Amino acid sequence: MESIATNLQAIRSEIEAACLKAGREPGSVRLVAVSKTKPASLVREAFEAGQIEFGESYVQEFLQKQGDPVLEGLPLQWHFIGHLQSNKVRSIVGKVALIHGIDKLSTAEELSRIAVRENLQVEYLLEVNTSGEASKYGMDPRDVLPSFETLHALPNITLRGFMTIASPDPASALEEFRTLRLLLGELKNISPEPEKLTELSMGMSGDFEEAIAEGATMIRVGTAIFGWR
């Protein structure tokens, strides 16, 4: 396998190329390096190659890695990209820059309760099941607009946009990314604070070019940086 630094450099050029092709500013797409199942030493290696934002999917693993002495003092920004159960919310609040995987009102309510109690402001994305696959987490796209008023009223938490995991086939993925982008546009139309709804977290190692073409503002890339899990 190539080194992490080489992989990161290659992905950054691919992001730039995809942005140019889509007529977008290369700086408008953030790369979240997905380090799940990989040791803290590799996170450190990626940091030394200029990577600041990392994504983790499992609460226990994240907490362990974040506390690893090998990463002590580094100005890392963590994203929680896994499915978040209500009973795990408390463990990660205050420790991550953004939570991508909220897919139910009840979890958002728990997030709000804890944010209020800890006197924190927390930003999150709503995970949307754009593919309709039963095996995937995420809110049904049809439920998003009707849920918004309730979500918006919850104190100390701010919805910043959506996250999705697309189907493996690129043509379907493109459609699903488009669905997410259009849904964000509809949500902005009904939101009293549309300027807060800026984020589309979509695209992984196999489909980030399609996601950038459809407006991704964050891509979550694991395998192409750290190798197979």
Ligand X SMILES: *Cc1c(COP(=O)(O)O)cnc(C)c1O
Which residues lie near ligand X (CB under 6 A)? 34, 36, 57, 81, 165, 204-206, 220-224
* Identity of the residue, 66 or 205, whose beta carbon is nearer to ligand X in the bound complex: 205
The CB-of-155 to ligand X minimum distance in angstroms stands at 27
Position of tokens 């506390």? 67
Position of tokens 């003092």? 73
Nearest CA among 180, 170, 169 for reference residue 216: 180
* Identity of the residue, 57 or 154, whose beta carbon is nearer to ligand X in the bound complex: 57
Q: Which residue is nearest to ligand X (CB)?
A: 222
Q: Hey, what amino acid is at 113? A: R
**Assigned token pair, 64:** 């362990």
The CB-of-20 to ligand X minimum distance in angstroms stands at 22
* Identity of the residue, 62 or 154, whose beta carbon is nearer to ligand X in the bound complex: 62
What are the DSSP calls for 91-137, one per residue? HHTTT-SEEEEE-SHHHHHHHHHHHHHTT--EEEEEEB--S--TTS-
Nearest CA among 70, 4, 14 for reference residue 203: 14
The CB-of-194 to ligand X minimum distance in angstroms stands at 26
* Identity of the residue, 45 or 154, whose beta carbon is nearer to ligand X in the bound complex: 45
The CB-of-69 to ligand X minimum distance in angstroms stands at 25
The CB-of-203 to ligand X minimum distance in angstroms stands at 8
* Identity of the residue, 137 or 148, whose beta carbon is nearer to ligand X in the bound complex: 137
The CB-of-120 to ligand X minimum distance in angstroms stands at 23
For 222, residues 6+ apart whose C-beta sits below 8 A from its C-beta are 33, 34, 35, 36, 55, 204, 205, 229
The CB-of-99 to ligand X minimum distance in angstroms stands at 12
* Identity of the residue, 26 or 206, whose beta carbon is nearer to ligand X in the bound complex: 206
* Identity of the residue, 37 or 64, whose beta carbon is nearer to ligand X in the bound complex: 37
